Structure 1
Amino acid sequence: MSYILQNGRVVLGKRLVTMDIRVADGRISAMGVHLPVGTEDRVLECTGKVVTPGLVDLHVHLRDPGATAKETIGTGTMAAAHGGFTTVGAMPNVTPVPDDADSVAALRGRNCREGHVRVYQYASITRNRAAGQLVDFDAVAQAGAFAVSNDGSGIQDAATMYAAMRGAAKAGLPLAAHVEDDGLKNGGVLNAGPRAQALGVPGVYHVVETAQLARDLALAQATGVHYHVCHVLTATGVDLIRRAKAAGVNVTAEVTPHHLLLTDNDIPDGPDAVNYKMNPPLRTMRDQQALIAGLLDGTIDCIATDHAPHTAAEKAQGLLRAPNGIVGSETAFSTLYTRLVRGQDAPFTLTQLVRWMSSAPAAAFGLPVGQLVPGAAADLSVFDVEHPYTVKAADFYSRGHNSPFLGWTVYGATVATIVAGKLVYAREGVQA
């Protein structure tokens, strides 16, 4: 199947250029003005729409196998496509954990068969994501893991992390770290401050992140591993990464949409507060401004959703007992575009946002995606940035509806998502 995307406002680096794109045999075969339409071409009219490289998300939780009431490979990747993502990185906190060559290969096979977008699979750092035995890094790399992570849990023992970094570096695998010192957490639920006090729950102090991050950056410098910081959050954490980069440490970092858009002051009273509970927690406006500055100066490399679906029953348990996490695949682009590109005194441009959500994460991990040039893989996303819509749970493809953005009026609805030349999502009414 071949497509002609006609008259779209195409994001080319720092420019927006009105042109056509021809897709054939899974590749971008031509780009230009008024491309000829062949008899076998299907036309996707994109006048007034923005066409971008397919978005890339390094951090999603597909919950499959082991927790398919929350999400499956099929629903999670369809949610990604609905949000304009053509590539996702699947975290290993599933059951069983992909912690050896056979389990990694088996899960990669399922991702390929059941996924609607490209899925890169993480292996864990330790066996069963538990303290103690490290995985065989060479074996999981040969089985196709693109990186290792124990996301959801910080590596508590420094010697274990040092050995893991040495092993990952030798195998050529990025190590993506959830930085959290359990000994400093003290049962905290929300950011330590007035809002946690008002809601009657224990607080999480900034040092939970920064103490372990400082340790890891020193170990990364000693080992030379590609060290990737998951969901960096605090102003001090951003400064630590900035200093480490200046010192030549091979470190990259991601930030989530919810931490860019919300602070702990946004957490409401009542039952909806659970949809603002995540780990790491929403912090202060000072931290939020540091995250924005970190993206703008290159300290933070990219945006990743940390898409974390849960069932309604789990989230209904209240702030103390409800699990951490929110869904993000289907709202990331539109909420960020609306508030941080289109909004009054918005700090970002459209082309910056697209880069942080496509080519930048791909480049950070050396993935052959996120490019919009002739010959590249035909992964493209089309967005309507002119007409508003309301975020509704009923419109989600994800099984999880745990989002703080329900009811928001936003711009940037996904019109179409193409993966390897295949139209995997099209908004109702779109003809092609």
Structure 2
Amino acid sequence: MKILIQNGHVIDPPTGKDGIFDVLIVEDKIVKVERRIEDRADRVIDAGGCYVMPGFIDLHVHLRDPGLTHKETLETGGKAAVKGGITTMCAMPNTKPVIDDGEKVAEVHARAAKESPAHVIQIGAVTKGQLGRELADIEGMAKAGCHAISEDGKSVMNASIYRRGMKKAKECGISVFAHCEDITMVEGGVMNADGNATRLGLKGITNSVEDVIVARDILLAKETGARLHLCHCSTADSVEMIRLAKEDGLPVTGEVCPHHFILTADDIPADDGNYKMNPPLRGRADVEALREGLKNGIMDVISTDHAPHSAEEKNRSMAEAAFGIVGLETSAALTYTELVEPGILTMTDMAEKMSTNPARILGLLDKGSVSEGKTADIVIFDTRQEYTIDKDTFVSKGKNTPFHGRKVRGTVRYTLADGAVVYENEIH
């Protein structure tokens, strides 16, 4: 199968391409990226007026499968991903059962290859059952292709066990993805600890709940040499600590989610469970620090922390609702609208933070680039039309988003995975 993408504006951070090029795909590989390609093809896609970028790679997704499939499945999550231009996603292990051995990782990978149009990399737990008492089968999960371990949804509070997990991850050549939260300091909080919590009569979560674990994990990474990726950073001090870690030459990276670089606690209009997420929406100074961190390269990645829940679990008071927000279908449009259009990021920056850097962190040498020899995971992205986010059009089972009704620009027209068109939304 040959596919020729014509007239698109190719954005490719690794090669520096930023202009109008044609892209020829043969089977699952990109074979040519040139100003004009005359080769015949089985299918020609006119990408005129659109950007052609490497398929997005989301390092932080909750697919809820196995065991919580009323919230999401490999199939529905995969379809939501490709609708959002995401061709590879990392599934967190806090499922039922918890993904804590090589056999479970292999099972998810085998199922995902059949059920999901997007590539799924199953991340393994740090401890058995995520109970924080005994290390999981890290070696077995690494051999099964997990690429990273994470206790996501919680931190491993026992620093000695966590240190041993980091050492094992380093031995196995995989990364550690850290959810930074000192659970002993949450104290029943459900949103940021500021005047808005007082206004709504809710308990707050201070910035230090995140910051103390960020500091601890960076120090443990320094001691063990483990590759540390800090998930869903939400505070100004997290950005500063990552900056210092990089100055110290440590293998530390950080991600920011769209809800954290867009919304503040001031944007919570009422006691609405759709605004409840972990970590919570912070203050204006934190948002500005996150944006500046993305702009200056301290923060490496934009991920979603896609966390679908049923309407019953979210349509209640923040005191009772589940933590989480969906994002697979909105992250690209929100990033473009809130960061690229205002000039905070360039289109190359966007591609770098949503594809190239995630590929590098995972060690996926064949992804994250629109260049010859790479796997043909590609998104064709159209920024011309303004529209309103409508949760009722989501493919995901989860509709829990505070961005319903928000105006954005940026529509995925085509998503290709392994050289096959897995999503298309043509202009009519």
TM-score interval, normalised by the smaller of the two chains:
over 0.9
Confirm or deny that 1:397 pairs with 2:395.
yes
Paired with 1:348 and 1:296, the residues of 2 have a C-alpha distance of 6
The gaps in structure 2 that reach 5 residues or longer are none
Paired with 1:220 and 1:19, the residues of 2 have a C-alpha distance of 42
Paired with 1:4 and 1:395, the residues of 2 have a C-alpha distance of 30
Could you tell me which residue of structure 1 aligns to residue 29 of structure 2?
A: 27
Paired with 2:224 and 2:37, the residues of 1 have a C-alpha distance of 51
SS in 1 for 2:57: strand
Paired with 1:211 and 1:425, the residues of 2 have a C-alpha distance of 42
SS in 2 for 1:375: coil
SS in 1 for 2:423: strand
Q: CA deviation at 1:34?
A: 2.8
Q: CA deviation at 1:425?
A: 0.2
SS in 1 for 2:385: coil
**Contact between 1:261 and 1:336, CA under 8 Å: does it hold in 2?**
no
Confirm or deny that 1:381 pairs with 2:379.
yes
Could you tell me which residue of structure 2 aligns to residue 255 of structure 1?
A: 256
SS in 2 for 1:180: coil
Q: Percent identity?
A: 41
After TM superposition, the structure 1 = structure 2 runs for residues 168-187 of structure 1, keeping only pairs within 5 Å, are 168-187=169-188
After TM superposition, the structure 1 = structure 2 runs for residues 14-93 of structure 1, keeping only pairs within 5 Å, are 14-38=16-40, 40-93=41-94
**Contact between 1:82 and 1:417, CA under 8 Å: does it hold in 2?**
yes
Could you tell me which residue of structure 2 aligns to residue 365 of structure 1?
A: 362
**Contact between 2:12 and 2:369, CA under 8 Å: does it hold in 1?**
no
Paired with 1:268 and 1:110, the residues of 2 have a C-alpha distance of 41
Paired with 2:297 and 2:391, the residues of 1 have a C-alpha distance of 34
Could you tell me which residue of structure 2 aligns to residue 284 of structure 1?
A: 283
SS in 1 for 2:384: coil
Could you tell me which residue of structure 1 aligns to residue 246 of structure 2?
A: 245
Paired with 2:171 and 2:141, the residues of 1 have a C-alpha distance of 12
Q: CA deviation at 1:2?
A: 1.7
SS in 1 for 2:220: helix
Paired with 2:144 and 2:93, the residues of 1 have a C-alpha distance of 14
Q: 1:243 to 1:429 in 2, by over 3 A?
A: closer
Paired with 1:70 and 1:95, the residues of 2 have a C-alpha distance of 12
Q: 1:262 to 1:15 in 2, by over 3 A?
A: farther
Q: Which runs of 4+ in 1 moved over 4 A?
A: none
**Contact between 2:274 and 2:315, CA under 8 Å: does it hold in 1?**
no
Q: 1:347 aligns with which of 337, 344, 353?
A: 344
Q: CA deviation at 1:138?
A: 1.4
**Contact between 1:15 and 1:351, CA under 8 Å: does it hold in 2?**
no
Q: CA deviation at 1:428?
A: 4.9
Paired with 2:99 and 2:161, the residues of 1 have a C-alpha distance of 19
Q: CA deviation at 1:136?
A: 2.5
Paired with 2:236 and 2:253, the residues of 1 have a C-alpha distance of 16
**Contact between 1:301 and 1:364, CA under 8 Å: does it hold in 2?**
no
Q: CA deviation at 1:110?
A: 1.0
Confirm or deny that 1:224 pairs with 2:221.
no
Q: 1:37 to 1:421 in 2, by over 3 A?
A: same
Could you tell me which residue of structure 2 aligns to residue 417 of structure 1?
A: 415
TM-score, normalised to structure 2's length?
0.97
After TM superposition, the structure 1 = structure 2 runs for residues 316-335 of structure 1, keeping only pairs within 5 Å, are 316-335=315-334
Q: CA deviation at 1:95?
A: 0.8
Q: CA deviation at 1:125?
A: 0.3
Q: Aligned-residue CA RMSD in angstroms?
A: 1.3
Paired with 1:350 and 1:195, the residues of 2 have a C-alpha distance of 35
Residues 263-302 of structure 1: CA distance to partner in whole angstroms, max 9, x if unpaired? 11111115xx211110000001111111112122222111
* Residue identity matched to 1:123: G
Q: CA deviation at 1:15?
A: 4.8
Could you tell me which residue of structure 2 aligns to residue 163 of structure 1?
A: 164
Q: CA deviation at 1:317?
A: 2.5
Paired with 2:390 and 2:310, the residues of 1 have a C-alpha distance of 16
Q: CA deviation at 1:405?
A: 1.1
The gaps in structure 1 that reach 5 residues or longer are none
Could you tell me which residue of structure 1 aligns to residue 104 of structure 2?
A: 103
Confirm or deny that 1:208 pairs with 2:209.
yes
Residues 323-356 of structure 1: CA distance to partner in whole angstroms, max 9, x if unpaired? 011000100010111122113xx31112111211
Q: Which moved more, 1:135-144 or 1:85-94?
A: 135-144
* Residue identity matched to 1:336: T
Q: Which moved more, 1:135-144 or 1:312-321?
A: 135-144
Could you tell me which residue of structure 2 aligns to residue 7 of structure 1?
A: 7
Paired with 2:216 and 2:320, the residues of 1 have a C-alpha distance of 30
Paired with 2:334 and 2:42, the residues of 1 have a C-alpha distance of 33
Could you tell me which residue of structure 2 aligns to residue 293 of structure 1?
A: 292
Paired with 1:290 and 1:100, the residues of 2 have a C-alpha distance of 38
* Residue identity matched to 1:381: V
Could you tell me which residue of structure 2 aligns to residue 274 of structure 1?
A: 273
SS in 2 for 1:213: helix
Number of equivalenced pairs: 425
Q: CA deviation at 1:213?
A: 1.4
SS in 2 for 1:123: coil
Q: CA deviation at 1:37?
A: 4.4
* Residue identity matched to 2:273: V
Paired with 1:350 and 1:33, the residues of 2 have a C-alpha distance of 19
Q: CA deviation at 1:143?
A: 1.9
Q: CA deviation at 1:96?
A: 1.1
After TM superposition, the structure 1 = structure 2 runs for residues 184-203 of structure 1, keeping only pairs within 5 Å, are 184-203=185-204
Could you tell me which residue of structure 1 aligns to residue 425 of structure 2?
A: 427
Q: CA deviation at 1:429?
A: 5.5
TM-score, normalised to structure 1's length?
0.96
* Residue identity matched to 2:26: A
Residues 178-237 of structure 1: CA distance to partner in whole angstroms, max 9, x if unpaired? 111011111111000011111110000111011111111111111111111111111111
Paired with 1:203 and 1:338, the residues of 2 have a C-alpha distance of 30
